[in-house]
Chain A
Amino acid sequence: MVPTIRTVTLLLTMLGAGPVRPAATTHTGERERAAYSFGVVPQFEQRKLNAIWNPIVTEVSRRTGLPLELVTTLAIDDFEREFVGERFDFVYMNPYHVLKAKNYVPLVADDAPLRGILVVRRDDPIDSLASLDGKVVAFPSPNAVGASLLMRADLERLHHAKVTPLYVKTHSSVYLHVAKGLVAAGGGVEKSLAEQPQAVRDALRVLYTSRGVPSHPIAAHARVPAADSQKLREALLAMDATPEGRALLAAIPSQKLVRDGRAEYEPMRAWGLEAYWVDFWKESPGR
């Protein structure tokens, strides 16, 4: 029962701060230098994130013939640092990121809208958002649209509840904080809650659901040739049309991929969420 190599690797990975770059993947499975980087916003813990996206990127690479390299980060802070630096060629990103990054063009997105939710412990008697005033509420990160930006805006503006935010990196971490009673409530989205283990879901109760926002897109950087971007879009849509591909994409989570465009996200500019946006990588570049 000595520590296995796998365990040590896991722990070292947990300690690392930079993006994790698995082997670049092609349809032949060979590593190539000219691979496109494919970044993914860390909605889940690293292992789960890789378990979801590695098969998808591999399949897309096989279908398109493009060499793709999956790039994940431990936390959303790291992801946004990389994202702002435009280091990803393709990226699965936060809907609000579309408004913040002008060089990324959405290719596809889930047809179902993204709805933010506020969860409390199932046995917590709290029944209104107003009663959360002065309490500590967990959020994945400051700039998560549905789980954080929109929820903090609604709490403060619609329900006049001023909460102390606790950013816990991921949606799963939010739900666990609430389930263990470490915070009074937590912000998430319906899709990520649905992905939680039954035990976690059984321990939680949705107290509030926000309005819908366009779902997370898969976007391409402007430097990627349009033909390659088009190949990738078509491949994703083709995957979504097959049971095997659909099964892979459902884990994102995604109900149905559709063509996407920047216009879908423009309405969010009017929601006043910019006041809640935090350029934390600028505030603490060392993080």
Chain B
Amino acid sequence: MRLRAKTLLPVAVLAASCLVFLYAYWFPRSLLNLEEQELRATERHLESVAAALVPLLLAHQLDAVYENLDALLAQNQEWVAITLVDPDGKSLYPLREGAPTPARRLWTITRPVQVRGHDLGRLVLDIDLSRLTAAAEHRHRELATVLIIVFCGCFFGIAFVLERVVRRPVGILAHAAERVAEGDFGAPLIRTGDDEVGSLVASFARMRSSILDYQTRQRESAEAIKRLSQELERRVAERTLQLEVANKELEAFAYSTSHDLRAPLRHVIGFCELLKKHAAEPDEQTQHYLAAISGAALRMDRLIEDLLSFSRMGRRELTGVEVDLARVVHDVRHELEPECQGRVIQWHVDGLPKVHADSTMLHIALVNLVSNALKFTRPRASAEIVIGAERGEAETVVFVRDNGVGFDPRYVHKLFGVFQRLHAIEEFEGTGIGLANVRRIIARHGGRTWAEGRLGEGATFYFSLPNREADAIGTAGEPLQANLRTSASR
């Protein structure tokens, strides 16, 4: 129901109720009361007349009786007829019996004319109240008309005021609110004064202005953020490009340097071998020196070889395919079978899913992890190596757990660094490049690497690979190189 109907309906109902009450109850009852009062008053009047007639009848002053009753009839228009009869019923008044009264509603009042119990006659009055009631009904109609006019005035007055003061401003306000919801803050408003509606309109105008200011500031802020973001992206891209160039130059330098270092190193090794063969009976000291030179050169050669391998890990182009992880692990175990000779090793390999990755690089990463597990469980009479995986919504986490010598967790951040070692080379061989290769391979797949462990309590190495659904690293056969940069940037 609309506001106008809600407000005016009670007024209309009140008006109708008043009119119904007036016409159904008050007017009829008022007429009834009027008739009753008039009849009672007439009865009292007639009693007075009867009392006044006593001396006239006793004195036989019939002319005075006539004069008075004629005067009463003339003065009281509701009195239709008066009849005065003597105790024998003989007519005393009027002179001649009138014609029968036309059919209309008449009341008859009879009063005896008595003096001290002596009956002098009987006074009979026919009274017609139709004129009186007609006048009352006329007044009732006037009252009803006035009430109707007043109610109509109230109705239309309220409607007018409501339209001007409430409905129209509120309607315009609602329209303006809808326009605001559509982003238009310029819809006109009407000021209605200092009433509640005016206050509402003013509040709305302030609110709209505040929203507009807020949106303006927000837009300006967004534009500033966008400009800053674009600037930042530009700088990042520029810096990334610089880093990539520098990295490539560094890698190229390292590769070139490593490659170039190998030739003189091989000469050193070769000439050491020649010295061992051609030197005539070198003493023990000389032999020791030669062995040290040769050993250092060979270790340096392995370091250079690993460095070149690491460099290749970063430059090799990745090709993403669906890889059966269980199959890769099986191949890795087969490849490392020679290292397991003579050892008691319990393998637990279960629940390995298929992942989306470069199969060769994944194979290299797992070789490094499993090889480490075999190496660092060597002191254990019975080695236990667990290889498993957990598939999450966004990524699949693969782990390799062993019960080996573990590591000091304080240095976990060094584990995946190039040439970083947490154990003496005399205890466990290696150049410290394996886990660096693992991190580089996994990073290029857009994954993560981390480790958990304690000294003497074994270690667990984890890496994650993005699921293809969550992070499309490329369809089958699609190069994965681009993802490396994306992951690195994160």
Contacts and interface: CB of A to CB of B under 8 A. Distances in A.
A7 interface: yes
A170 interface: yes
A148 B64 CA distance: 20
A3 B48 contact: yes
B78 interface: yes
B64 A45 contact: yes
Contact of B60 (A3, A4, A173): A173
Interface stretch (A8-16, A124-132, A222-230): A8-16
A180 B78 contact: no
Contacts of A44: 63
Given A1-B132, A2-B41, A47-B67, A182 B61 contact: no
A216 interface: no
A75 B59 contact: yes
A11 B60 contact: no
A169 B59 contact: yes
B95 interface: yes
A177 interface: yes
Contacts of A46: 64, 67
B75 A4 contact: yes
A14 B75 contact: no
A40 to B, nearest CB: 16
B61 A10 contact: no
A26 interface: no
B300 interface: no
Given A11-B49, A176-B66, A169 B60 contact: yes
A203 B91 CA distance: 15
A10 B55 contact: no
A203 to B, nearest CB: 7
Contact of A169 (B61, B68, B95): B61
Given A1-B76, A47-B67, A203-B95, A11 B52 contact: yes
Contacts of B42: 1
Interface in B30-49: 38, 41-42, 44-45, 48-49
A281 B92 CA distance: 29
B75 A176 contact: no
B75 A45 contact: no
A36 B236 CA distance: 142
Contact of B61 (A7, A48, A168): A168
A200 interface: yes
Most buried by A among B42, B60, B75: B60
Given A169-B59, A172-B63, A176-B62, A182 B90 contact: yes
B130 to A, nearest CB: 13
B56 interface: yes
B96 interface: yes
B74 to A, nearest CB: 10
A166 interface: yes
Contacts of B91: 180
A10 B68 contact: yes
Given A1-B42, A180-B91, A203-B95, A7 B71 contact: yes
Nearest to A77: B59
Interface residues of A, number: 36
Given A1-B76, A4-B75, A14-B52, A199 B95 contact: yes
B90 A15 contact: no
Contact of B52 (A15, A138, A179): A15
Given A7-B75, A14-B56, A200-B95, A170 B61 contact: yes
Interface in B133-169: none
B190 interface: no
Contact of B75 (A6, A48, A175, A177): A6
Given A1-B38, A11-B52, A182-B92, A47 B62 contact: no
A121 B67 CA distance: 21
Most buried by A among B38, B49, B52: B52
A177 B79 CA distance: 24
Nearest to A178: B62
Interface in A203-219: 203
A7 B4 CA distance: 60
Interface in A47-74: 47-48, 74
Contacts of B49: 11
Nearest to B71: A10
A265 interface: no
B340 interface: no
B292 interface: no
Contacts of A167: 60
B72 interface: yes
A175 B95 CA distance: 11
Contacts of B77: 1
A285 B90 CA distance: 33
A113 B384 CA distance: 176
Contacts of A176: 62-63, 66, 95
A11 B55 CA distance: 11
Contacts of B96: 199, 203
Interface string A8-44: 1011001100000000000000000000000000001
Interface in B429-454: none
B62 A75 contact: no
B75 A179 contact: no
Given A1-B38, A182-B92, A15 B55 contact: yes
Nearest to A172: B63
A173 B62 contact: yes
B55 A168 contact: no
A173 B64 contact: yes
B95 A179 contact: yes
A75 B92 CA distance: 20
B87 to A, nearest CB: 13
Nearest to A179: B95
A14 B54 CA distance: 10
B486 to A, nearest CB: 113
A173 B76 CA distance: 24
A44 B67 CA distance: 10
Given A169-B64, A173-B64, A176-B66, 17 more contacts: A2-B41, A3-B44, A6-B75, A7-B45, A14-B55, A45-B61, A48-B67, A75-B61, A168-B61, A169-B60, A170-B61, A172-B66, A173-B60, A173-B63, A176-B63, A180-B62, A180-B95
Closest 4 CB pairs of A and B: A172-B63, A11-B52, A168-B60, A173-B63
29 contacts: A1-B38, A1-B42, A1-B76, A1-B78, A1-B132, A2-B45, A3-B45, A3-B48, A7-B45, A7-B71, A7-B75, A11-B48, A11-B52, A14-B55, A15-B52, A44-B63, A45-B61, A74-B61, A168-B61, A168-B63, A169-B63, A172-B63, A172-B66, A173-B60, A173-B63, A177-B60, A180-B91, A182-B62, A203-B95
